[in-house]
Amino acid sequence: MKKLLLVIITAITLIGCSSTPKKAVSYPKSHVQNSKFKVGRTVKGRASWYGDYFHGKKTASGEKYNMYNLTAASKTLPFGTIVRVKNLDNGKSVKVKINDRGPYVQGRMIDLSRAAFKKIAPLGAGVLKVEVTILDTSKTFRYKH
């Protein structure tokens, strides 16, 4: 009797510890597959630049801001996205990597690093009419891990 009881308890314990097959979890499509972030998409707006005050400070992506690198801040584009920013007044363009959030001034859609802005206009221009084209989304990420 004791053996039978021990076998039943052991069986119940083992059954309780076994795992059941898990259902496949479907996740929403990547933010990069969203049509808003597709390669080739172009948007027009206004660009500004930021430099000295933020130089060396941590960006929203976790990288240190370096005003001499070709980077930019966007409110919506995923970190790591490469875009071409074209000055609509003179046709000059620059490729930049999105690594920060901003700009936080109404009417502006992208903040360029000092070096990036300088490639397409004199710093004194302040704000430009630009066309931003998504070139590469292969190395994008949501947050710095």
User: Does residue 10 form part of some domain?
Assistant: no
Query: Any idea what the CATH number is for the domain that residue 63 is in?
Result: 2.40.40.10
- Residue by residue, DSSP assigns 20-72 as PPPPPPPPPPPTTTSGGG-TT-EEEEEEEEE-GGGTTSBPTTSSBP-TTSSEE
User: Does residue 101 form part of some domain?
Assistant: yes
Q: Looking at the 3D structure of the chain, how many domains does it have?
A: 1
Q: What is the pLDDT of residue 136?
A: 95
User: Does residue 2 form part of some domain?
Assistant: no
Q: What is the pLDDT of residue 33?
A: 55
User: Does residue 29 form part of some domain?
Assistant: no
User: Does residue 28 form part of some domain?
Assistant: no
Residue 4: pLDDT above 70?
no
**pLDDT tens-digit map of 18-56:** 555 444 333 344 444 566 789 999 999 999 999 899 999
User: Does residue 83 form part of some domain?
Assistant: yes
**pLDDT tens-digit map of 49-108:** 998 999 999 999 999 999 999 999 999 999 999 999 999 999 999 999 999 999 999 999
User: Does residue 11 form part of some domain?
Assistant: no
Q: What is the pLDDT of residue 139?
A: 87
User: Does residue 22 form part of some domain?
Assistant: no
Domain that holds residue 60: 39-136
Q: What is the pLDDT of residue 37?
A: 84
Q: What is the pLDDT of residue 79?
A: 94
